Amino acid sequence: MQYFPMFFNLNNKPCLVVGGGDIAARKVSLLFRAKARVTVISPELCESLQRRLNAGEIQHINKLFEIADVINYVVIIAATDNQKINRLVSDIAHQRNIPINVVDQPSLCSFIVPSIIDRAPVQVAVSTGGASPILARLLRARLETWIPAAYGKLAILMEEFRSKVKTHFIDPDKRRYFWESVVQGPIAEMVFSGKEESARDALRKAVGLGEKTMPGRGEVYLVGAGPGDPDLLTFRALRLLQQADVIVYDRLVSEKILDLARRDADLVYVGKARDKHTLPQEDINQMLARIAKKGKRVLRLKGGDPFIFGRGGEEIETLMEEGVPFQIVPGITAASGAASYAGIPLTHRDYAQSVLFVTGHLKDDSMNLNWTALIQPRQTLVVYMGLLGAKTLCQHLIEHGMSPQMPIALVQQATTSQQKILVSSLKCMPTLIDANEIKPPTLIIVGEVVALHKKLAWFSPTH
């Protein structure tokens, strides 16, 4: 081990920062977060340090650094662009055994500053021993996705109950199981979704039950998986994917996303290809409630956002009726995903002030839509499930008064490596559809904004 990791209590301790530029300011911010008493030595101060000085947050010695300036500091950081001064600060600090960090010069340091994930009171520090700050930053970004922002709140809540749990759970093993169930179970989830009071009540009750085995409590997570690219999942979706016992998914959810599930989770496919639902919706609703009632954590994974043409509402109605706890995690809906990856802004100050999402799903082979609302000027129209009815759609829009020249785009398998886009006019699109093999899922975008695709397209899928 090249460096020994420590967490240093700097509360109200005198610390010195040599240098007054932006880098020094960043170090001052860090020290300030640790409630240190910071003195800055520098003949000049950048704007943010000047602001701190005016606010009385730091002390300032307005001059170049000299050996005599080193008094009883507990930590010194040198962040000047003057190599001589940096070396001088380092030498004197080493002589006096004061921990010293010289920014970007590991050879002059007695300690290095790690990349920090701050979820106070939870702190995670990452270091590569100075070998590669970029790698440390990358690791930090990965860890950020693993450690929800509310972990700090959870730690505070657990601290509150710590001694109580110690007296109620004498057996250390049982105590450990108890805390594991808190951290991985519904109580933690309540904290993460902002229901702190319910979490406190549930924790109080659970502690009250003592060492008797606690009955498991199942729940359902209704999660939006986004349009396809796994990178577009939310942090919460990813975390729940890695903790759910059972994952119920349908056709729109890509394999790459399922790969992110916990290795030993049960995966249940419930279909949802057009007109050949593997399971009728009613059965899916009941199934979710049934599994959760067995004490399992069920993750219902849906393409895009569960509340946009996703029947999310119906599924949670059943859960509500059955008294099964649940939470809903929004996802990036296909319209946002397809629009971004196709370089077609859905609204634009010059072309569209509103955007309308409709379903083009054919009922009895006809499209039952409010055409007057659809053809409004300066509006973008997004049609979900519209591939089969695409030609009828073009025809009806023209019949109801939209210009035959209105641009229209068909975005296929948006955001994935298979993404393909056809751009044409309402008049010509039907011919283009006939001439191409089109793969679902496909989203249709109609409106002036579509013309911007030519200029703004940026995503080149790698097949």
**Measuring CA to CA, how many Å separate 346 from each of 53, 195, 379, 420, 429?**
46, 34, 9, 18, 20
Which span sits near ligand SAH by CB under 6 A: 111-119, 181-189, 300-308, 401-409?
300-308
Nearer to ligand SAH, 304 or 447 (CB): 304
334 interacts with ligand SAH by CB under 6 A? yes
The verdict on whether 250 is a catalytic residue reads: yes
Asked if 341 touches ligand SAH (CB under 6 A), the answer is no
In this structure, the chain runs to a length of: 463
Q: Quick one: 128 or 419, whose CB is closer to ligand SAH?
A: 419
Strands 420-425 and 379-384: unpaired
Asked if residues 182 and 158 have their Cβ atoms less than 8 Å apart, the reply is yes
Using rule CB under 6 A, residue 340 touches ligand SAH: no
Nearest to ligand SAH by Cβ — which residue?
304
**Residue 412, CA distances (Å) to 310, 344, 381, 409, 440 in order:** 19, 14, 16, 10, 6
Binding pattern for the stretch 374-413 against ligand SAH, x by CB under 6 A and - elsewhere: ----------xx-------------------------x-x
Any catalytic annotation for residue 104?
A: no
Single out the segment in contact with ligand SAH by CB under 6 A; choices: 17-25, 32-40, 234-242, 296-304: 296-304
Quick one: three-class SS letters along 323-346? CCCEEEECCCCHHHHHHHHHCCCC
Among candidate residues 250, 302, 305, 420, the one labeled active-site is 250
Q: Rounded to an integer, what distance in angstroms lies between the CA atom of residue 163 and that of residue 168?
A: 9
Comparison of 58 and 270: residue with beta carbon closer to ligand SAH: 270
DSSP state of 440: S
User: What whole-number distance in Å separates Cα of residue 439 and Cα of residue 419?
Assistant: 9
Choose which of 20, 148, 218, 310 interacts with ligand SAH (CB under 6 A): 310
315 binds ligand SAH (CB under 6 A): no
Instruction: Pick between residue 218 and residue 228 the one whose CB is nearest to ligand SAH.
Output: 228
Nearest to 27 by CA among 109, 119, 83, 150: 109
* Residue ranges that bind ligand SAH, judged by CB under 6 A: 227-228, 252, 302-305, 308-310, 333-334, 338, 384-385, 411, 413-415, 441-443
Catalytic residues: 250, 272
